[in-house]
Amino acid sequence: MTNPDHLRLLHSMLRVRRMEELCAELYTQEKIRGFLHLYIGEEAVVTGVMSLLRPQDNVMATYREHGHALLKGVSAKLIMAEMFGKVEGCSKGRGGSMHLISAENRFFGGNAIVAAGIPQAAGLALAAKRHETMNMAALWKIPILFCCENNLYAMGTALSRSQSQQEIVKKAESYNIAAVSVDGMNIFDVIEKTHAALDFVKREQKPYFLEFKTYRFRPHSMFDPELYRKKEEVQKWKERCPIDFLTKYLIEHDGASQDVLNKLKIEVEQEMQDAVSFAENGTLEPVENLEKNIYENDL
Amino acid sequence: MKMTYREALREGLQEALETDPRVYLMGEDVAAYGGTYAVTKGFLEKYGPEKIIDAPLSEVGFTGIGVGAAIGGLRPIVEIMTVNFSLLALDQIVNGASILRHMSGGQLSVPLVIRMTTGGGRQLAAQHSNSFEGWFAHIPGIKILTPSTVEDARSCLYFALLDPDPVLIFEHALLLNSSAEVTEKPTRESLFKAAVRKEGSTLTLITYGGMLPRCLEAAHEFDGTGDKIEVIDLRCLRPLDNEAIFRSVRKTHRVLIVDEGWRSGSLSAEVSARIMESCFFDLDAPVQRLCRKEVPIPYARHLEIAAIPQKQDILNRIQEILS
């Protein structure tokens, strides 16, 4: 009997992977423009973490956030329409790939300034806590889970070339924040450590830091010629593909049939193709609306 | 009832903290120290550590927390000690607070208030004497208030907190000890509109913030002569109150803009351009500007005085235009 939870996880990973693959294709067709940062290779992290969040939990992400938005509940259609710059997009075509935002899904972007989302996330957590418990003892006990997706590179600069202390966890510990390192290619490790971290955050109303050691298989963005790393290195990491890992686990330990796995793929493909059609058929916002939404009330 | 600009700011803060449970104040030395300019003295004891919060010296950090908290439904008041340190918070203001409504397609609202002192004139030298409010007025998505009177100092926070968008308040350091008679209850005339501080008919002086008192003094020197100088206090640098400016220009036909910021690419340039675009044929003389000299503000007293517009400079320029 196939474990339905495992199957659901694989489904999520495949959705993220397939959406990204389509984005890459659509980019070369010039349907998607601007900067495009793909998450391929890192799927276990977002899948594991998001599977443990509640709808009311707030999420802030970086510019490599398509999968995060998708798994926080933003539909593939709205995401794809946003990539196409259509008014049906989750940010009405004002944000694009790097600024997927959905207040309804408590997904607050999509921030293209490195690290700028960190204090904003802390502020959101502060507000959430205020709403729950107006009378608190120490304000700085903020319930927030920091997820560092350590894919080893800042654009093209390897961690080892920019940081004297490469154990990221130690940096968090120096702020007296509980911190743990996670195998970001192993969905089970992601889930186990994230589960414990979220328990801690909710129980203690304090921050917790998780470093997910992961790897992006694709270049930093579509403009990146990847001169800074060797093909062998990428190949080595690809052998640890988180989707292959879970698929293999499902076959070997859960006895998942090829039929079940194929159905899953077909389902994902259908969802993503529908999203692309939705985006293709979306409307461009009239230019007369350009100056809307600068202030709540137009000046 | 007489009160100082500082007391007026205090009163505005207290009113906000006592009437809206979503309000909190965060900044460097606002709590235990009582505020660098003693505006929040005693607040920690009165309102408690969950409302009056000392922040570490990271402007970009605590301003960003304010952005997030505002999105989350609170009404944060962020105090940046002085405008000079606001440069460190620019990213959160310009790439965060000001754009999030638009970039989210109208989904997010950032009702954040940022207060800071501004201006030179106290021999604090180049790194502590800037006037960047004109720079901030360049940015769509935020609003800029520059209270210049005790009454405005008393009400600016009220209007800023009422606003659904980010509002920056620039409190001029030289005005803190100024005092004036005020009514028992604050007047609630919108501060997002310019005010005619003195009626006149032969020349319009346009200014804001810390330059207002010296402009008024200079204008009054002409009382009793044939010339009547009108003084317009912009009060809000973004959005600019075009109508108030144009109305006055159409009446007096002559304009001097006094701006504490540097002249190149300044707020005074913007006001001047708008007058040219809309009132060109109403002008009897070219629009003139008096700004700070284009130097980092020097420490030496006489050099600082020479660098920042003084009453005598204003008088001289008015006379030049009138003659």
Determine which helix (DSSP H) or strand (DSSP E) holds B314, and give its type and residue range: helix B311-322
pLDDT tier at B196, thresholds 50, 70, 90: very high
- Enter the ipTM: 0.83
How far is residue A83's CA from residue A69's CA, in Å, rounded to a whole number?
12
Q: Which chain B residue lies closest to A140 (C-alpha atoms)?
A: B50
Residue B291 burial (C-beta neighbours within 10 Å; 0-12, 13-18, 19+) = buried
Taking an 8 Å cut-off on Cβ atoms, the answer to whether A125 and B68 are in contact is: yes
Using the Cβ of B48 and the Cβ atoms of chain A, whether some distance falls under 8 Å is answered with no
SS3 A123: helix
- Tokens for B166, please give them: 């980010």
Number of H helices, E strands in chain B: 12, 14
Taking an 8 Å cut-off on Cβ atoms, the answer to whether B73 and A94 are in contact is: no
For helices B311-322 and B212-220, give the axis angle rounded to 10 degrees.
Answer: 50
pLDDT (0 to 100) of residue A136: 36
Give the active site residue among B28, B79, B128, B304. Answer: B128
Enumerate the domain spans of chain B: 2-181, 195-322
Residue B53 C-alpha, separation from nearest chain A C-alpha, in angstroms: 8
Q: Which of B224, B246, B223, A299 is nearest to B232 (CA)?
A: B246
What integer best gives the mean pLDDT of chain A?
Answer: 92
Interface test with A, best of B17, B100, B104, B138 (most A CBs within 10 A): B104
End-to-end CA distance of chain A: 62
pLDDT digits (tens, 9 = 90+) for A194-206: 999 999 999 998 8
Q: Decide if pLDDT at A140 tops 80.
A: no
The CATH classification of domain B2-181, taken from the options 3.20.20.150, 3.40.50.970, 3.40.30.10, 1.20.990.10: 3.40.50.970
- Once rounded to an integer, what is the mean pLDDT over residues A24-46? 96
Q: Decide if pLDDT at A130 tops 70.
A: no
Residues of B in contact with A295 (CB under 8 A): 101, 141, 143, 164-165
pLDDT (0 to 100) of residue A272: 98
DSSP A195-247: HHHHHHHHHH---EEEEEE---SS-SSTT---TTS-HHHHHHHHTT-HHHHHH
Residue B87 C-alpha, separation from nearest chain A C-alpha, in angstroms: 15
The CATH classification of domain A4-287, taken from the options 3.40.228.10, 2.40.50.250, 3.40.50.970, 3.40.630.10: 3.40.50.970
B172 is catalytic: no
Taking an 8 Å cut-off on Cβ atoms, the answer to whether A296 and B109 are in contact is: yes
Give the β-pairing of B203-207 and B23-27: unpaired
Amino acid at A187: I
Taking an 8 Å cut-off on Cβ atoms, the answer to whether B92 and A120 are in contact is: yes
B59 is catalytic: yes
- Tokens for A172, please give them: 């968090």
Give the active site residue among B59, B151, B230, B260. Answer: B59
How far is residue B161's CA from residue B148's CA, in Å, rounded to a whole number?
18
How far is residue B12's CA from residue B191's CA, in Å, rounded to a whole number?
14
pLDDT tier at B19, thresholds 50, 70, 90: very high
**Touching B: A residues 245-284, CB under 8 Å:** none
In the numeric block, the tokens 């946003």 are attached to A82
Residues of A in contact with B76 (CB under 8 A): 123
Measure Cα distances from A73 to A7, A67, A79, A223, A274 in Å: 18, 10, 10, 29, 16
pLDDT digits (tens, 9 = 90+) for A69-120: 999 999 999 999 999 999 999 999 999 999 999 999 999 999 999 888 988 9
SS3 B188: coil
The CATH classification of domain B195-322, taken from the options 3.30.70.2660, 3.30.470.10, 3.40.50.920, 3.40.50.300: 3.40.50.920
Q: Decide if pLDDT at A132 tops 50.
A: no
Residue B71 C-alpha, separation from nearest chain A C-alpha, in angstroms: 7
